[in-house]
Structure 1
Amino acid sequence: MAEWSWASERLIDAAQRGDVESINALVYDAHPHVQRFAHALCASPQDAEDAAQEALIVLYRKIGSLRATGALASWMFRIVRNECLRRAQLMARRREHSTDAEMLPLEDEVLQRLEAERVARAIGDLAELQRRVLIMRDVQGYPGRTVADTLGLSVAAMKSQPHRARTAVRLALHTGSDARPGDAG
């Protein structure tokens, strides 16, 4: 089953084989999802737009290197996360010689980005089903029925997954440990 409803295995397979129309369709359809994730991770709207564009360029150029069709979402989110972090580091280097008064907003910005990295890592460590449900519900904003149908779950079974995932992420963030959040609940 495809990880996202817009990215069928057939479309991903064709794109991996180099079919230009499939690659274009995949990039076009991925754009709102990648953009939403970038806005959740990056410190500024400009960085988010740039990170989303960079991720889509990587998708376009390197879809053939994706090993498993089911890994598309994780791959794209990792690219966005890394691009947001790269931009935060670049901004920090540019402001190294700024005055203390100018540094306070930068410190807040870096702290926000570090927190976003911790959240992304905690989500990435979830059990696959919990991660997929959490991303579809909370990041992509799909209705519960759509998520349940896409993942082949009953609505009741689907409803318990985001709760468990959020609890595991909250626990991982609270403890600050490297424990695998997917093991909770």
Structure 2
Amino acid sequence: MPTAETGPSALSTLPHDVVEAARQGDSGALARVIACAEPEVRRMARSRCRSREDAEDAAQETLIILYRRLGALRTAAALSSWLVRIVGRECLRLARRSLRRAPAEPRPAGARSSEDVWFAQSGDPHLAAALSTLTVHDREVLLLRDILDWSGDDTAAALGLTRSATKSRLHRARRNLRRALATQPEPVSPPIAETGDFSRNR
């Protein structure tokens, strides 16, 4: 489960004057910052993205942004939190891409839709079918909170919402999912074990 991070440990040992030199365009300092950031960026991506492929994509995109836009960073001390936000945003972008993919569009080999993720987690095609009827906003907040198990603060930051607005959206999404489940035809056999309680308020 992603948690609030005070800053990647490897980056915390990087002298601020090196980051500042990289901000000013020193190529040697920039290479040092990127080399130091890479393992931490990959670790954060693995903890936040839904698949290994998404984590790799998110890490690569984050490192590209670091290379191209480090000069826009206001202060050297903000580097760690800046990278945390970028990784989170990239993981969400990739999750949204999966949610918005048209059903008829072929997926790359091994790629899974959000419905596939739900099925794998619950073993319940009834639940997966209900999820597929929800709006993108409902599915993305359920994906972040109930599948990827992001914290409320991380989810709010990724969605660009306040904490209270995120809780409201999650409450509506879970309510809509319960309604969708109620309208889905029950499987005849084999019997499916009940899934988790989506009404829980985290």
TM-score bin (small chain) = 0.5 to 0.7
1:121 alignment counterpart: 153
Alpha-carbon spacing, 1:20–1:124, altered in 2? closer, same or farther (3 Å): farther
Q: CA RMSD in A?
A: 3.0
1:38 alignment counterpart: 45
- Does residue 85 (structure 1) correspond to residue 92 (structure 2)? The answer is yes
Larger Cα-atom Rg: 2
For the 8 Å contact 1:38–1:49, the answer to whether it is kept is yes
2:173 alignment counterpart: none
TM-score w.r.t. the length of structure 2 is 0.52
Q: How does 1:71-82 map to 2 (within 5 A)?
A: 71-82=78-89
Aligned length: 123
Q: What is the percent sequence identity of the aligned residues? A: 35
1:6 Cα offset (Å): 3.7
CA distance in 1, matches of 2:52, 2:152: 18
Over 6 Å off, 4+ runs: none
1:7 alignment counterpart: 14
2:59 alignment counterpart: 52
Alpha-carbon spacing, 1:85–1:103, altered in 2? closer, same or farther (3 Å): closer
For the 8 Å contact 1:38–1:80, the answer to whether it is kept is yes
For the 8 Å contact 1:16–1:64, the answer to whether it is kept is yes
**Larger helix share, 1 or 2:** 1
1:7 Cα offset (Å): 2.2
SS in structure 2 at match of 1:61: helix
For the 8 Å contact 1:12–1:26, the answer to whether it is kept is yes
1:162 alignment counterpart: none
CA distance in 1, matches of 2:94, 2:83: 17
Q: Which runs of 5+ in 1 are unaligned?
A: 126-173, 177-185
Q: Which runs of 5+ in 2 are unaligned?
A: 1-6, 106-112, 122-139, 158-199
CA distance in 1, matches of 2:30, 2:69: 10
CA distance in 1, matches of 2:104, 2:36: 42
TM-score w.r.t. the length of structure 1 is 0.57
CA distance in 1, matches of 2:89, 2:28: 27
Per-residue displacement from partner, 1:56-97 (whole Å, max 9, x unpaired)? 110010001001211111110111110111011111111445
